[in-house]
Chain A
Amino acid sequence: MNERSRYLKGAFVAIPSLFMLAMLVVPALGGLGASFNHRGPSLENYSALVHDPMFWRAALDNLILPIASLALELAAGLGLALMLTARGKRSAVVEVAAILPFAIPEIVILTIARYLLMPRGYVNGALEAFGMHGAAWLSPRGSLAMLSVAVVDAWHVTPIVMLMLIAGLQTIPQELYEAARLDGAGTLATFRHVTLPMLAPAIVGATVLRGIDALRIFSTVLVLTGAEAVPVLSTYAYGQWTDAQAPRVAMAAAMVLAMVVTIFALAGTLAVRRWASQPGASQ
């Protein structure tokens, strides 16, 4: 490597590093400092969080919602991935339809979902056309709103899970399926004893990646139900910043969310590494 390419390499590392420092690390440290500042160093902002029932609701929802959303995404993503990789059944129309929700801008898909689920929306209209009663899909009272948010969130990002699982499915050697067939294994047994174990690294990867993303859920909740019906930590922090004009409390809430995401990300990364290091875990 000559001197010029060494400089070039250094520049390629330095420029994004400086960008990250200026745009991510410095503001994050500023936020961390602000969260502990209340006319001097203090835990007052965190104490305010602890005493606010809405914060605890947001924290709880911030656990339930990602779990529900992730479960739906994995189930639907796996189903779609299996369908699209099944031999002789691939259809360009189905592939495009499966990927489309992820390709549509988030605000558009959320607005569509809102029009579908609002009290006089298309879903209730369809139900009533069949003689059934409409439901309060987004009502702040009851738990339907939580389910609606989880379904819409899953609908939007299932394609990314599906693509990850398709990539995983395509790495499974066909010989294994042939051997299973020769041994007389049926579809379910093949799925259970061949597909699922071989797909596990991809499932774990998708769970970690989407789990981190799901913990940071924000716009889906805000557009569908408003900040109060299904509060999560990000909307809680947003509300503290904008409505309550309490920026330091907002910073404290954001730090709690960042901590939760970091812990989950570290645990997920460790799980993936441990899985990968196990004999026979990878190809």
Chain B
Amino acid sequence: MGGCRQGEPPRVALNIALAVFPDEAARYARFVSSFEAAHQVRVNIVAQSYGDILQALRVQAQSRRGSLDLVELDLAMLGQARSGAAVLDDLVTPSAHSLFSGPAWAAATVKHHIYFIPHRLMWEAMIYNRIEVPDPPRTWDELARFARAHPGKLALKAARYEGAVCDAMAFVWSAGGGYCDPESGGSLRAFDFLRSLAPDLNDESAVFREMSILEAQARGTVWIHFNWPFAIGYLKSKGLAPEVDLSAPIPAGPAGTATPLGGGYLAIPVSAPHPELAREFLAWLLTPEAQARLSRELGWYGSVAPAPGSEDAGLYAGFTAMRDHVRARPAVECYPQLSNRWQRAIRAVLLRGKAPEAVLGDILSQNSGADVSAADTPFERCCAGLPQ
């Protein structure tokens, strides 16, 4: 056995921690096989949750050693992960830059340096029951009319978690408001609109998260909600898309339409054992060919939209329509604190009928409720240098 191996070149292993399910990991392994063959390396895919990957990155950065060469991080974690990630400015050539939208790169950039490479970007769209709602609402007015006409059939993700911010921020941006501008007229308009929807929202909105709201849509309990592209894959697997459910753009508000950018970015830990090889992998990933394969083989349409005329083009039409309206969440270390403040405000308006002015004012206050981090990083400092 040993004699057989003497002539083989040494095989280096590139360890990539990805937040994928086992079946996705298998498909991803097939996707990277061409890189493995070209570079005579083995790519080990470590399937983990985003939270655990962030923790591993922090430990690896603190101990200055570790085994991870590349890590995938949720967009909402990029600010916290920055100190453990290497600068990747030189990898982003003009052609690589053109693969993704401006907001995608904005989320990857901290203090004028790029630390993260978009990996599988996604954004929200409206999921609707095409049988019950033949003409999906295109504006806020139409959405409000739908909610009033069909109480309980519109749902928002309003559990106390990041998803609540993603749903609500689409409205805030659509009205001209923003994360760092809670007291602006736009934010207030959006919250006024959300409060007007509240009485007719599905009761379970208070506890809905991505999967539970999707299950409610699949059961027919909910006819309209907002979700990520995986929702269409799920509904298709149940035989419900495109027969019953489809995607459509998020209804437009006074300042147009908007959707939160989400998904995973890749970073090289500062103490990665094979940083050069990891950079080669990222450079390979940032080619139009690799992105086309990601779209075709894994159904990750962050860079390349589904081929026109294909089945997916119809299924993901709503997501494709929102492609030019994506907005990035702030890539700041204190993002969880900012998000927690917005979560409380959103729930206060949607579930407890509080006055929008008051709850939006609370976002700015220094020591509001449970937000320990509010004392950590004052709102102004958290938002310093960010667009309003």
A residues near B (Cβ < 8 Å) are 38-39, 44-45, 47-49, 51-55, 118-120, 136, 138-141, 225-229, 239, 242-246, 248-249
Whole-angstrom distance from the CB of B156 to the nearest CB of chain A? 13
Structural contact, A140 and B207, CB atoms closer than 8 A: yes
Known pairs A120-B219, A239-B161, A243-B162; A249 contacts B206 (CB<8 A): no
Q: A39 — which chain B residues lie within 8 A by C-beta?
A: 376
Structural contact, B370 and A49, CB atoms closer than 8 A: yes
The contact sample of 19 A-B pairs, CB cut-off 8 A, is: A38-B375, A39-B376, A48-B372, A51-B370, A52-B369, A54-B370, A136-B203, A140-B204, A140-B206, A225-B207, A226-B159, A226-B212, A228-B159, A228-B207, A239-B161, A243-B159, A243-B161, A243-B162, A249-B370
> What are the 3 closest A-B residue pairs judged by CB atoms, nearest first?
A52-B370, A226-B207, A243-B161
Q: How far is the CA of A246 from the CA of B371 in the complex (A)?
A: 9
Structural contact, B160 and A243, CB atoms closer than 8 A: yes
What 0/1 readout, one digit per residue, does chain B (47-79) give for beta carbons within 8 Å of chain A?
000010000000000000000000000000000
Known pairs A52-B370, A225-B207; A244 contacts B340 (CB<8 A): yes
Known pairs A119-B219, A242-B51, A246-B340; A44 contacts B207 (CB<8 A): no
Structural contact, A54 and B160, CB atoms closer than 8 A: yes
Whole-angstrom distance from the CB of B176 to the nearest CB of chain A? 28
Known pairs A140-B206, A228-B207, A242-B51; A248 contacts B372 (CB<8 A): yes
Taking CB atoms and an 8 Å cut-off, the chain B residues in 308-354 that contact chain A are 336, 340
B residues near A (Cβ < 8 Å) are 51, 80, 159-162, 203-204, 206-209, 212, 216, 219-221, 336, 340, 367, 369-373, 375-376
Structural contact, A228 and B51, CB atoms closer than 8 A: no
Scoring B161, B162, B207, B369 by chain A CB atoms within 10 A of each residue's CB, the highest score goes to B207
Q: B376 — which chain A residues lie within 8 A by C-beta?
A: 38-39
A55, A138, A225, A243: the one within 8 Å of B370 (CB) = A55
Whole-angstrom distance from the CB of B341 to the nearest CB of chain A? 11
Q: A227 — which chain B residues lie within 8 A by C-beta?
A: 159-160, 207
Q: How far is the CA of A244 from the CA of B203 in the complex (A)?
A: 23
Whole-angstrom distance from the CB of B177 to the nearest CB of chain A? 23
Q: B375 — which chain A residues lie within 8 A by C-beta?
A: 38, 44
Structural contact, A140 and B369, CB atoms closer than 8 A: no
- Smallest Cβ-Cβ distance to B215: which chain A residue: A118
Q: How far is the CA of A227 from the CA of B208 in the complex (A)?
A: 10
Known: A49-B370, A244-B370. 11 other contacts (CB 8 A): A44-B372, A45-B372, A51-B369, A120-B221, A138-B204, A141-B206, A226-B209, A228-B160, A229-B207, A242-B51, A243-B161
B160, B208, B336: the one within 8 Å of A239 (CB) = B160
Q: How far is the CA of A88 from the CA of B221 in the complex (A)?
A: 50
Whole-angstrom distance from the CB of A39 to the nearest CB of chain B? 8
Q: How far is the CA of A248 from the CA of B219 in the complex (A)?
A: 38
Q: How far is the CA of A187 from the CA of B370 in the complex (A)?
A: 56
Whole-angstrom distance from the CB of B24 to the nearest CB of chain A? 21
- Smallest Cβ-Cβ distance to A119: which chain B residue: B221
Q: B221 — which chain A residues lie within 8 A by C-beta?
A: 119-120
Known pairs A119-B219, A227-B160; A246 contacts B207 (CB<8 A): no
Structural contact, B336 and A246, CB atoms closer than 8 A: yes
Whole-angstrom distance from the CB of B207 to the nearest CB of chain A? 4
Whole-angstrom distance from the CB of B183 to the nearest CB of chain A? 22
Structural contact, A246 and B212, CB atoms closer than 8 A: no
Whole-angstrom distance from the CB of B284 to the nearest CB of chain A? 32
Structural contact, B206 and A246, CB atoms closer than 8 A: no
- Smallest Cβ-Cβ distance to A45: which chain B residue: B372
- Smallest Cβ-Cβ distance to A239: which chain B residue: B160
Structural contact, A53 and B369, CB atoms closer than 8 A: yes
Known pairs A119-B219, A141-B203; A245 contacts B336 (CB<8 A): yes
